[in-house]
Amino acid sequence: MAEPMNRRNFMSKAFRISSAAAGLSLEEKILLANMNEKPSPKGVGQEHGGLKRGKIGKVEISRLICGGNLFDGFAHSRKLTYVSSLMKHYFNPEKIMDTLEICESNGVNTAIMLCWDHSIDVLNRYRKERGGKIQWIAQSFDQIGQLECVKMAVDNGASGFFVQGANGDTFVREGRIDYIAEILSLAKANGLIAGVGSHTLNVPKTLEKEGLEFDFYFKTINNVDYWSESPEEVAAFMKTADKPWIAFKVLGAGLIKPREGFELAYRMGADFLNVGMFDFQVSEDVEVASEILTRDLQRERPWKS
């Protein structure tokens, strides 16, 4: 028989819950705090067609971009060994297509996804089965080869291509500037906007000195020291670069709340944010980004697109 609920019973249960919570880890406390939040249904939220856009070359891009790392199981989960498998099980092809569809309905018109068969197969299915029109900026996959990735991107309708961040770090560190130039030249010759990714400022600093012709930088920024220099150091250099800047790792792989991470990156000079999102996060993330972009952010770096 159910115990009748009165003030004494309620206070007793509340005390037991709060006492138990005192021994929980930070992650468990966060989970407990969010248990009463209602999950967002598929396609939830008003359409945020007003999400601001900029241009890189001739390509018009929403200032919030859908990142594809989660789709491929790259969750940056530190020492948690099960998370990559969990991501791959969650993001089956149908769920990836659901997420892309929700992105489009909320004004996100571009996705950055790895240039390999898995991403290409899902994108082509999405276009064919759901009439998807989301633009694809292809991220290189070194196991396939940079130049081959460019060809695959061109053959499968990409709008842009860039050298993946770890590859950019390595190529510059090894002095392979001519190879980077060859990759970018091939991409641009085939009508793609072309960029270079990095986790270190050494890459854009070197490429600025070398004077390579390309369209954008793809560079990390966050305030938790996650694969990036300090925000102030990144911003100070990026003020000197005229190319548009797509920022990534702005949430420190889940350590930073969207409102804080987005505001910091935009204020520090980023033109676009690349953010991995679950389907149920898209609408809120777009709403947060849209609100931030209405403010006077007192940017020292002018918008470059």
Distances (CA, A) of 176 to 149, 185, 196, 207, 210: 18, 14, 13, 11, 12
pLDDT at 185: 99
Ordered alpha helix ranges (H), the chain = 7-21, 26-34, 83-90, 93-105, 117-130, 146-155, 165-173, 177-189, 202-210, 231-238, 258-267, 282-292
Give CA 105 to chain center in angstroms: 18
pLDDT at 50: 76
* Domain architecture of the chain: domains with CATH: 52-292 (3.20.20.100)
pLDDT at 26: 44
pLDDT at 226: 87
Q: Measured between alpha carbons, how far is 196 from 167 in angstroms, rounded to an integer?
A: 9
Measured from the Cβ of residue 302, the count of other Cβ atoms closer than 10 Å reads 9
CA angle 241, 190, 53 (to 5 degrees): 50
Q: Measured between alpha carbons, how far is 178 from 176 in angstroms, rounded to an integer?
A: 6
SS3 143: coil
pLDDT at 4: 53
Provide the residue-wise pLDDT of the chain in tens; the chain has 305 residues: 454 555 445 444 444 444 444 555 444 444 444 444 444 433 333 344 679 999 999 999 999 999 998 998 666 666 777 777 888 889 999 999 999 999 999 999 999 999 999 999 999 999 999 999 999 999 999 889 999 999 999 999 999 999 999 999 999 999 999 999 999 999 999 999 999 999 999 999 999 999 999 999 999 999 999 889 999 999 999 999 999 999 999 999 789 999 999 999 999 999 999 999 999 999 999 999 999 999 999 999 999 99
pLDDT at 21: 46
SS3 163: strand
Q: What is the DSSP letter of 302?
A: P
* The amino acid at 256: I
Q: Measured between alpha carbons, how far is 153 from 281 in angstroms, rounded to an integer?
A: 28
* The amino acid at 84: S
Q: Measured between alpha carbons, how far is 227 from 130 in angstroms, rounded to an integer?
A: 36
